[in-house]
Chains A and B, each alone.
Chain A
Amino acid sequence: MIDQAGAVRIELTVNGRQRPLEASPHQSLLSLLRDDLGLTGTKACCLVGECGACTVSLNGRIVDSCLILAVEADGAELTTIEGLAADGPLTSLQRAFLEEGAAQCGYCTPGQVMAARDLLGRIPHPTKAEVQEGMGGNLCRCGCYYQITEAVLGAAAAAD
């Protein structure tokens, strides 16, 4: 439904919590998360779906939230980086990132963690090549790629 100001009423489940919201028709999901919900853990960089910094999970699949309109996500279940360790302790994947030195500046890290979580959901015991391919859409200019790969492989091994 579009109101007079052009905003559209939508409802999302974000990190397990139902959120009735209003979004502009042209507003990206990324902007909705960061600017309206204050969930700034999801990062903005290229805004054209190339860098992976804004990766979130939408109905169980990862997407670049910069490429999804907020109104497209109406009714969806969303998990952002803030949803991973909401109860306090870090997930084994997040711990593995720290132990392997896989976060330097950390700006790409939330997107990397979300992509790795999705990868391990699909392939619980990936090979090194599968990790590198699966994480190929997430840029890290600090160049932590090997350490990220080791973290993902380490988290997979720890899940046994």
Chain B
Amino acid sequence: MSGQIGVSAERVGGPARVTGAYQYVGDIRLADVLHVKLVTLPCAHARIRSIDVSAAERLPGVRLVMTAASLPQPVPRFGPQFQDRPVLAVDETKYHGEPVAAVAADTEDAAEAGARLVRIDYLELPPILSVAAALAPGAPLVQDPELRPGDPLAETNVLREHPVSWGDVAGAVSDLVVEGTYTFPMVTQFAIEPHGFMAAPDGDGVLIWSSIQHPYWLQKIIAEILGLPLAKVRVLAPDPGGAFGGKQHTKFEPLVAFIALRTGRPARLILTLEETFQAVRRMSAEVRVRTGFLSDGTITFREVEADYLLGAYADIADRAASKGSHISCGPYRVPAARIVARSILSHTPPATAFRGFGAPQPNWAVESNMDDAARALGLDPVELRLRNLARRGEEFIPHDTTVDGDWEQTIRRAAELIGWGTPLPAGRGRGVALGVKSGPTTGLSYATVRLLADGSVILYSGTSDMGQGSRTLFAQIAAEELGVPIDRITVVMGDTAVVPYDQQTSASRSTVLMGNAVLQACREIQAKVRAMAARLHGISETAIVVERGIVRLPDGPVTIVEILKPGLGSLGGEVIGNGESRKEAEPGHPLSGSAAFYEFNCTAVEAEVDEDTGNVAIVRHVTVSDVGKAINPLQVRGQDEGAAIQGLGHTFMEHYIFDESGRIRNLGAIDYRIPTSMDLPVELQSDIVENADGPGPYGAKGMSEGALICTAAAVAAAIRDATGVVIRDLPLTPERVWKALSERPLATAAAHEVAQRRVPG
């Protein structure tokens, strides 16, 4: 079916979504299942003196009360980067919500009642809830130094420092130095499907169900913890109901696995939304940025110091800090740079990946700094960016991938769509910002495609389709290459006993890395069909070309299926193709590898500020992303708009609020607000730049995160344009905006203070 690429094919698996028939993890019912409830303390940091489970164990229906003492000793610890998270709290709790015990019972009611009967004698300890508290002299250590042998930072709350520098910052001569400190709030992924985990004994192995993005990474961790061969750990990972990074890594799967193996019965733990708030969130951050400029706007140097606040356990957050900060100088020619990111431990829920992966935090600071600079220099903010923008082929970060797009097109398109430079009514302002993010730095994806005797296809992939639409994209690729209608293709995912290995579903990689593996598998089938055609027609293979579903024979084209049927013969059978797509690690690279591609986005907004209430209405929101090639434009639009709207969440409303005990006070959907259909820009326009210059099939790049990265800076610039106020802390709640407006003369003065003329860098 040539013509499947660049068309908005309907979502594969869509009918099951709109009828409610699709079974997410929590919808799967297992016979004889035990329901698991976590037992937690009403504070973040506490020393556990004793746990009395006797009353809980006596409750009818309760089958097991698991504590750290009933686990193998030492209690297994795990994590994608550091093995620091225990299956259950050991001696101390380190965040509000960390489970101390788990009750497994015949019914949910009994599990809940049992959880209330677990008596924990504990001593509440002061929690570390901020960067300042973590770094204060004499601050208690969040992690036991024994967990970090040989680590020179083990006696501090700094988990890692990530310095990157190039050029001569100290020697840079500037006409103007602009600096500022910005804060980014702690926000949560808030997938509408709460995380679900189930486990069951499976012969001499174990079955795990999880709403996870990386089933193969989970398989590895479970195998290590249980001492099982990989082949004895089968992970079933139904499509997650939203993930956004929060479902990348192992959480409570080891716990339910221990319960299932101990009791011999399936165990089921579906988190409440409140528990997901305590399980996953994005790192908050404090970012200081200092940039030197010549009077014509040329950047002379840039310094970025980013303190990212992790939770008590690292999960993948330290990696996000290093990766996000590495590109924090932005898509610009920066001749000298000094970047230092620190990942800092605290008594807060474990931070993990969240769309943008460490990039939105410094972007908020650096793009706001660009806006500051444009105003101080008397230059147009779009013009300032264009003057400094790195162009195709330029190495804008030493030893990393060069600019892989015509990024100027993206900026000019966004400026055109927002009407940049045209007059505005009073009370309105416009802002613009650029977002750039490194794609995956390593990767390994396998795909298998089976062309069956009737010309239908089964495609196997370890990618997780959590809404980004990978099933549809892979089906489109197979349809294009094999000449099969999409409705004759079945895409199988989410079962490690069936689908070949895939490293992970993250960093907007799947269209590129898995997409290439699928393409390669299809090409292998094409090669076999070519040999078949040569045999059938008694001609040389060199006389035959197979491409995009067509077999070109010397006497004219036929479809692949027309060759397939006689080629397979009376026994039928199938033609199998395998694909493998690798991005190898690069030793010595600070991120273990250069970026497979960049996500590049320009966001421009027009905002109207109500000076009486501080309420900000986005009148127009334009997002333009360089996508290489939109294999499915409807899905590209969905990803781009979704990223933009998620960006408006941390821009305007989302943030955790802690009390002095480290409890999240706005836990749950009532007090923690995410954008609804009533919080949207009056008009949102998503557009793309396509130059078929990406490394994926047909020139595609990953694109699912770009539109979130620079939302906040674009909005804040528009507020400033409308009112003159500069706000350096997110979210831009009406209260905060109103307060800034009421203090306007001071704020304006502060903005001028940072601009000092003729300062050597």
Contacts and interface: CB of A to CB of B under 8 A. Distances in A.
Interface in B70-99: none
Nearest to B708: A143
Contact of A142 (B13, B642, B676): B642
A101 B466 CA distance: 14
Contacts of A65: none
Given A41-B21, A47-B273, A48-B668, A104 B192 contact: no
A153 interface: no
B100 interface: no
Contact of B643 (A43, A140, A143): A143
Nearest to A132: B677
A136 B645 contact: no
Contact of A98 (B15, B243, B643): B15
Given A50-B670, A98-B10, A145 B192 contact: no
B193 A105 contact: yes
* Interface class of chain B by DSSP: loop
A51 interface: yes
Interface in A66-111: 80-82, 84-85, 90, 94, 97-101, 103-110
User: Most chain-A CB neighbours within 10 Å: which of B8, B272, B273, B670?
Assistant: B273
Interface string B218-262: 000000000000000000000111111000000000000000000
A106 B17 contact: yes
A45 B194 contact: yes
A13 interface: no
A105 B242 contact: yes
Contacts of B194: 44-45
Interface residues of B, number: 58
B562 to A, nearest CB: 31
A46 interface: yes
Interface residues of A, number: 55
Contacts of B17: 97, 103, 106, 109
A90 B18 CA distance: 8
A82 B20 contact: yes
Contact of A113 (B18, B24, B466, B646): B18
B632 to A, nearest CB: 9
Nearest to A93: B18
B641 interface: yes
Interface string A22-44: 00100000000010001111111
Interface string B631-675: 000110110011111100000000000000000000011100011
A160 B190 CA distance: 38
Nearest to B646: A143
B453 interface: no
A149 interface: yes
B676 A136 contact: yes
Interface in A116-160: 131-133, 135-149
B19 A145 contact: no
27 contacts: A41-B19, A45-B193, A46-B273, A48-B668, A80-B20, A98-B11, A101-B634, A101-B635, A104-B242, A104-B642, A105-B193, A107-B24, A107-B192, A110-B19, A133-B678, A136-B677, A138-B676, A140-B677, A141-B191, A141-B242, A141-B674, A142-B467, A145-B675, A147-B637, A147-B638, A147-B641, A149-B677
Interface of B: 8, 10-11, 13-24, 26-27, 29, 109, 189-194, 239-244, 270, 272-273, 466-469, 634-635, 637-638, 641-646, 668-670, 674-678, 680, 684
**5 closest cross-chain pairs (CB), A and B:** A41-B20, A107-B241, A106-B17, A105-B467, A143-B645
